[in-house]
């Protein structure tokens, strides 16, 4: 099957490459000619484990191509995925201008029946506007259907998430569209959840909101644990063994970040509001998340007293491990507040240093974790990169002026750290 993936951002690139991997012919399109040139030269615009090899193999076998020519991609394909960005406006509303432009491009270039699939995360009922737009600009009256096929990819494990999904959600409005989507996903061994379009759009919002809620629940719980002498890791372990709750997304820490949860949660609250429902529960999920960052700074202060002139080393800057993504990373707000209060901050991240330099001014970026520890009054761990588990902690301690470790991800074991002579502060323990 020949597919067009319009929008070669994080989602479009991963999805397009993986569709090629399972045997489809895919044309990935982007209006950013520099990005397309990079990809055509074998370069990668993002860091995502495993994606590089998949792209190389698919390009050399002729199943994947990159272009800026959206018209060609539409004319040559039978299924077009809209995977462009839906950035959040200041009001919390997603900007759907790019989705509309693509719908118009598709309408103007369709030369036979087309299935137009929403891949971008869009507010419920967006399909109606996509349909209306295509009808308006489709002067030849070429037949088409609209489908919704939300993605559930996590950065850092997007390839595996795509190739081995828990479920595939498809919203359709005709048999013809359903059959085509079944064909698209035939190579996958996962249950296909077929729904109407509005339900498919909502499954995406509801899933992300629910996951964010689980994290904020664990974080709020961590505050109670800390005050009562309980250990949040034990409490969530005990809760998670109940099948109805499940063990995932209950790790307390400095809060969630990334491009999806903060943006999608705000958008969902706004959508519910427009539909006449004040989703106060989700507003509180956001509040708790913001509060965790402020609490972390207070914890650092509680052990250092005054921050002015104190040297604080930060291990981990990206919003989570295995990505160079700094968007809405908790490290940004935490470090800015430490700097505002006069601390002298240095930082290290295995992958996100370049991006961090553009969003966190006023700190010293170090080449190694050891350099971050040199002369520090406190080390703060904000992202649980697995390589931090390999550090020679006795050496780290020797390098520090005062061996205090504030572990924002409960990554280290308290007993071991105390045995080594650290003063250890976790979250909710």
CB burial string 74-109: b at 16+ within 10 A, e below = bebbbbbbbbbbbebeeeeebebebbbbbbebbbeb
Q: Is 201 in the site for ligand UDX (CB under 6 A)?
A: no
Pair 409, 251: CB distance under 8 Å: yes
Instruction: Work out how close the CB of 330 gets to ligand UDX at its nearest, in angstroms, rounded to a whole number.
Output: 7
Q: Is 301 in the site for ligand UDX (CB under 6 A)?
A: no
**CA angle, 379 then 382 then 388, to 5°:** 70
Residue with tokens 């077009």: 80
Pairing of strands 79-82, 2-6: parallel
Stretch that binds ligand UDX, among 16-24, 60-68, 151-159, 421-429 (CB under 6 A): 151-159
Residue nearest to ligand UDX (CB): 260
Distance CA 225, CA 220 (A): 9
Q: Is 123 in the site for ligand UDX (CB under 6 A)?
A: no
Q: Under 8 Å CB-to-CB from 276, ≥6 apart: which residues?
A: none
Return the structure tokens found at 170: 């498809």
| Burial class of residue 303, CB neighbours in 10 A (0-12, 13-18, 19+) | middle
Pair 183, 1: CB distance under 8 Å: yes
Of the two residues 8 and 219, which places its CB atom closer to ligand UDX in the complex? 219
Q: Is 422 in the site for ligand UDX (CB under 6 A)?
A: no
Instruction: Work out how close the CB of 59 gets to ligand UDX at its nearest, in angstroms, rounded to a whole number.
Output: 25
Q: Dihedral sign, CA of 276, 282, 286, 291?
A: positive
Q: Is 385 in the site for ligand UDX (CB under 6 A)?
A: no
Of the two residues 155 and 337, which places its CB atom closer to ligand UDX in the complex? 155
**CA angle, 280 then 284 then 290, to 5°:** 150
Distance CA 370, CA 426 (A): 21
Instruction: Work out how close the CB of 408 gets to ligand UDX at its nearest, in angstroms, rounded to a whole number.
Output: 10
User: Bridge-partner residues for 194, per DSSP?
Assistant: 170
Distance CA 325, CA 408 (A): 18
Instruction: Work out how close the CB of 386 gets to ligand UDX at its nearest, in angstroms, rounded to a whole number.
Output: 13
Of the two residues 152 and 422, which places its CB atom closer to ligand UDX in the complex? 152
Instruction: Work out how close the CB of 4 gets to ligand UDX at its nearest, in angstroms, rounded to a whole number.
Output: 21
Distance CA 366, CA 349 (A): 9
Distance CA 341, CA 411 (A): 26
Return the structure tokens found at 371: 């350099």
From 80, 225, 260, 406, active-site residue? 260
Pair 82, 116: CB distance under 8 Å: yes
Of the two residues 35 and 293, which places its CB atom closer to ligand UDX in the complex? 293
Q: Is 407 in the site for ligand UDX (CB under 6 A)?
A: no
Q: Is 215 in the site for ligand UDX (CB under 6 A)?
A: yes
Which member of 261, 296, 348, 412 binds ligand UDX (CB under 6 A)? 261
Which member of 257, 347, 369, 408 binds ligand UDX (CB under 6 A)? 257
Which member of 7, 253, 262, 408 binds ligand UDX (CB under 6 A)? 253
Of the two residues 144 and 388, which places its CB atom closer to ligand UDX in the complex? 388
Q: Is 155 in the site for ligand UDX (CB under 6 A)?
A: yes
Q: Is 151 in the site for ligand UDX (CB under 6 A)?
A: yes
Which member of 3, 153, 159, 168 binds ligand UDX (CB under 6 A)? 153
Stretch that binds ligand UDX, among 27-35, 98-106, 145-153, 338-346 (CB under 6 A): 145-153
260 flagged as catalytic: yes
Which member of 319, 348, 411, 422 binds ligand UDX (CB under 6 A)? 319
Stretch that binds ligand UDX, among 29-37, 179-187, 250-258, 303-311 (CB under 6 A): 250-258
Q: Is 380 in the site for ligand UDX (CB under 6 A)?
A: no
Per 3-state DSSP, the chain is made up of helix, strand and coil in percentages (nearest 5) of 45, 15, 40
H or E element, residue 311: strand 311-315
Which residues are near ligand UDX by CB under 6 A?
151-155, 208, 211, 215, 249-251, 253, 256-258, 260-261, 319-320
Q: Which residues are catalytic?
A: 260
């Amino acid at each position: 099957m020949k597919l067009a993936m319009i929008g070669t951002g994080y989602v479009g690139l991963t999805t397009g490459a993986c569709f090629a991997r399972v045997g489809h012919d895919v044309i990935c399109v982007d209006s950013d000619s520099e990005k397309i040139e990079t990809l055509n030269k074998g370069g990668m615009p993002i860091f995502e484990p495993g994606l590089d090899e998949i792209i190389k193999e698919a390009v050399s076998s002729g199943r994947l191509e990159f272009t800026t020519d959206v018209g060609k991609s539409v004319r040559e394909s039978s299924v077009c995925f809209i995977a462009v960005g839906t950035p959040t406006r200041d009001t919390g509303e997603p900007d759907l201008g790019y989705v509309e432009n693509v719908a118009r491009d598709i309408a103007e270039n369709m030369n036979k029946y087309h299935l137009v699939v929403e891949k971008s995360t869009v507010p419920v009922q967006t399909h109606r506007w996509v349909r209306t737009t295509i009808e308006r600009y489709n002067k030849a009256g070429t037949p088409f259907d609209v489908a919704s096929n939300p993605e559930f990819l996590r950065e850092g494990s997007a390839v595996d998430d795509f190739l081995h999904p828990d479920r595939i959600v498809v919203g359709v409005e005709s048999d013809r569209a359903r059959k085509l989507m079944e064909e698209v996903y035939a190579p996958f061994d996962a249950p296909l959840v077929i729904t109407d379009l509005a339900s498919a759009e909502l499954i995406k919002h509801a899933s992300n909101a629910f996951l964010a809620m689980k994290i904020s629940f664990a974080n709020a719980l961590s505050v109670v644990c800390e005050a009562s002498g309980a250990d949040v890791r034990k409490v969530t372990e005990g809760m998670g063994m109940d099948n109805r709750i499940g063990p995932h997304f209950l790790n307390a820490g400095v809060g969630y970040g990334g491009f999806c949860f903060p943006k999608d949660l705000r958008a969902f609250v706004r959508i519910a509001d427009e539909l006449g429902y004040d989703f106060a529960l989700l507003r509180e999920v956001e509040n708790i998340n913001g509060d965790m960052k402020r609490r972390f700074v207070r914890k650092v202060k509680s052990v250092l007293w005054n921050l002015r002139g104190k040297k604080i080393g930060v291990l981990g800057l990206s919003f989570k491990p295995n990505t160079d993504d700094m968007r809405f990373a908790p490290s940004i707000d935490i470090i800015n507040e430490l700097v505002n209060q006069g601390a002298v901050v240095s930082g290290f991240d295995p992958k996100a240093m370049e991006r961090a330099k553009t969003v966190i001014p006023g700190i010293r970026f170090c080449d190694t974790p050891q350099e971050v520890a040199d002369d520090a009054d406190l080390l703060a761990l904000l992202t649980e990169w697995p390589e931090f588990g390999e550090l020679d902690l006795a050496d780290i301690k020797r390098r520090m002026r005062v061996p205090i470790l504030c572990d924002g991800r409960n990554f280290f074991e308290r007993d071991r750290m105390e045995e080594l002579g650290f003063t250890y502060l976790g979250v909710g323990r």
